[in-house]
Structure 1
């Protein structure tokens, strides 16, 4: 009876929350020129400063991001209440934002759980041993991890790829920043560039694909621009990587053995990525649904390992406890903050620049790359798609390229960068990234030049 009363109570609260005096399809008013519009913009800029100055003030980036994300929406809701506006609009926008955040949040959660599980089972220690024992120099390992990231990202996704390869970096070397920082930047750039030419390699390409801005094969034509831009950046970054080799004494370092079941966990990880892709492509469910299904399989397998080898052999909850929660909180905060800016109307102003008498589509799409690095490529791409400027396939592919690759220019301009910052905490920081960001900018313009030659001069970007 108590359970029944609780269900009825929750149902009543839900109905009351969804009620109101708004009309169906009501459009949110433009609040950009109001006190709440300017206040939220100011709060975002100040909060963004503290996120960027994480290293200077010693404050974790999740703290200011989470504060401004929640506080800005509280101010917007307060403005609506004070001015007797439809609270349904606030409620609906918050629901949509929570759904968007939840998809990314749980996707990250599962990916991080798998990575921590593989660390516990000695997979990355074994990979480190295999690389170092072969006599690879720091520079060769720089190129190996970069190429793996570039070609794994289109299959997995840029975030999962960056998390895996950054874990490899930190197991190879834990202290030498002259290797770790260029190596981390290289992985972020490679993962984002690799994801730009695959419909499911990056969330921005996925958004453009599902919005019908191009067929599956249309995105594959971005490969030349993606790979050449990456190679230029990687070549410049490699000049900062030391030539010597990691210290390795075969007589002192024994070959690490992976725990029983590690290979199965690796297979489950690959299958989980497959499930995420199939969830979206075939079943029309969010990608995180397939990821959560993969997590359920890992939990079942964890139970089997415990029954066979004991409770200390592999406990999935221990892996979950080691997840970088600050990375998840940062994503929640920054997406909430950007969602508030969009709801107020600031991001909608971007559509004006696409008009021919302002900047036009080409220069606007190039600017999207820089904006995605500053704000975040997901909401920027969302704003472009919602504005839906009149552009041909060539321009939609350009904005897909710039939004994906451009996020690499700042350390937290993409999911891959944020993930690596969490893995290499205190080493790969905003300040460390910005010292070498010029290499990424050069590669960015190389990608655009290749796009222009291929799309605008040769006209080679579509089959049939």
Structure 2
């Protein structure tokens, strides 16, 4: 251990003395070394605990953050012991931090806006408006599904799914013939809606910020996302009863939105527009526009504080309610995938994209099924890191399959995991798998629409 510490100390001193010059040497392949196998083993064990968070009652951010940081520490020790160029490792980590930070702060601002709208009663009002319309269970199924599909591109799939799962449990607390298909419908709609917008899903956001397509390019995925969702929803709706749920108007009071809520909604749209302009026109990171939007919200919150008092709306209270575990999970899992890429494992995995093996189309279709089993964030991160040679049409396909494919198993996406938590004991793995075949049908319908649009008609290139 002393030898390791001394080696690290001297290599750091040498790097400092050299002014931290950027290394241009070729990164060595570490796959067949002890650190290569150790990191692969650590990733597998860590990801097991991520997937089994319900079983062990451990937040998924904890194992993700541990493996993400520990794997790079092991690599650094290996470099120090073997006298390798630590400048390569430093460059990789700095690049990874920059990559993660851009998406991290983007999500930070988006979550702040959502928490602000929740605090100001916007979603409570939406929930009340839905349950007082006198709709049948089947109509509510369709209404919540369409809201999820078109809210997800703006609010993100996890937040959308959580909000509408709360609406479901408010409407009905016991009838599984409504709650289970309704929950699946929300998860599928939120994931499908998130696939055609850079803001709708972390995987889509990652592909956009990585420069795999412009903002407008992702919008061309709308037909495939929508028609695939409708195919699943149509079949699922047949299992939902046509009865009208009981509602006691005397017990439920109409919630009022706080003063300034509508302005905050407008500022949210303005912030999204600023992010798009920053990335597409000004060539700044998308998060730069988002942070500017946060600054504008802070200024507006100051005005509300002066007018209505400090308890009316405090933006720091909204920031405090952000799901930091989601952000920590995101950091940890991307760092872990970055370590596997640096070692060389992802280059081996990318062989399947070679036309002589599977080729890009079948590989990208397989990504959807892998996303359902593993979770779409690390799978999409691995594809982006491996960076196989593909055209725009194939990058749009993998964005579609990673987003939509996560719906096939209940824990395959953040939306599914979130709804499982909201409808505990009702929306379970077993309940989901009973209807999983409907999602598989929708998945292949989405791919068929993509094929017709991109390969046969040439629309979207």
TM-score by length of 2: 0.83
1:280 paired to 2:279: yes
Q: Conserved in 1, the CA contact under 8 Å of 2:305 and 2:312?
A: yes
1:366 paired to 2:362: no
The match for 2:254 is: 255
Distance 1:143 1:362 in 2: 32
The match for 1:160 is: 156
User: Per-residue displacement from partner, 1:219-266 (whole Å, max 9, x unpaired)?
Assistant: 555433222211122234445656555542222322111111111111
Distance 1:419 1:205 in 2: 19
Q: Conserved in 1, the CA contact under 8 Å of 2:397 and 2:450?
A: yes
Give the one of 454, 457, 460 matched to 2:457.
460
Q: 1:236 to 1:69 in 2, by over 3 A?
A: farther
Distance 2:17 2:183 in 1: 45
TM-fit CA distance, 1:422: 7.7
1:89 paired to 2:88: yes
The match for 2:227 is: 228
Q: 1:129 to 1:211 in 2, by over 3 A?
A: closer
Equivalences, count: 447
Q: Conserved in 1, the CA contact under 8 Å of 2:276 and 2:286?
A: yes
The match for 1:29 is: 28
Pairs within 5 Å for 1:38-437: 38-154=37-153, 156=154, 160-164=156-160, 166-171=162-167, 173=169, 178=176, 182-198=181-197, 202=201, 204-205=203-204, 219-238=218-237, 244-375=243-374, 377=376, 380-381=379-380, 383-384=382-383, 387=386, 389-391=388-390, 394-410=393-409, 413-414=412-413, 436-437=435-436
TM-fit CA distance, 1:188: 3.6
With 339-348 and 215-224 compared, the bigger mean Cα shift is at 215-224
TM-fit CA distance, 1:130: 0.8
Q: Conserved in 1, the CA contact under 8 Å of 2:346 and 2:385?
A: no
Distance 2:90 2:428 in 1: 36
Q: 1:180 to 1:163 in 2, by over 3 A?
A: farther
With 161-170 and 236-245 compared, the bigger mean Cα shift is at 236-245
Distance 2:288 2:309 in 1: 30
Secondary structure, aligned partner of 1:249: coil
Distance 1:349 1:221 in 2: 31
TM-fit CA distance, 1:217: 6.2
Q: 1:449 to 1:80 in 2, by over 3 A?
A: same
Q: 1:208 to 1:160 in 2, by over 3 A?
A: closer
User: Per-residue displacement from partner, 1:293-341 (whole Å, max 9, x unpaired)?
Assistant: 1111222111111111111111112222222222222212211211111
5+ residue gaps, structure 2: 1-11
Q: Conserved in 1, the CA contact under 8 Å of 2:453 and 2:459?
A: no
Secondary structure, aligned partner of 1:173: helix
Q: Conserved in 2, the CA contact under 8 Å of 1:237 and 1:439?
A: yes
Q: Conserved in 1, the CA contact under 8 Å of 2:121 and 2:258?
A: yes
Secondary structure, aligned partner of 2:156: helix
Distance 2:446 2:156 in 1: 23
Distance 1:152 1:256 in 2: 21
Q: 1:343 to 1:388 in 2, by over 3 A?
A: closer
Q: Conserved in 2, the CA contact under 8 Å of 1:97 and 1:336?
A: yes
- Superposed CA RMSD: 3.5
Secondary structure, aligned partner of 1:187: helix
Distance 1:244 1:190 in 2: 23
TM-fit CA distance, 1:131: 0.7
Q: 1:240 to 1:14 in 2, by over 3 A?
A: farther
TM-score by length of 1: 0.83
Q: Conserved in 2, the CA contact under 8 Å of 1:20 and 1:88?
A: no
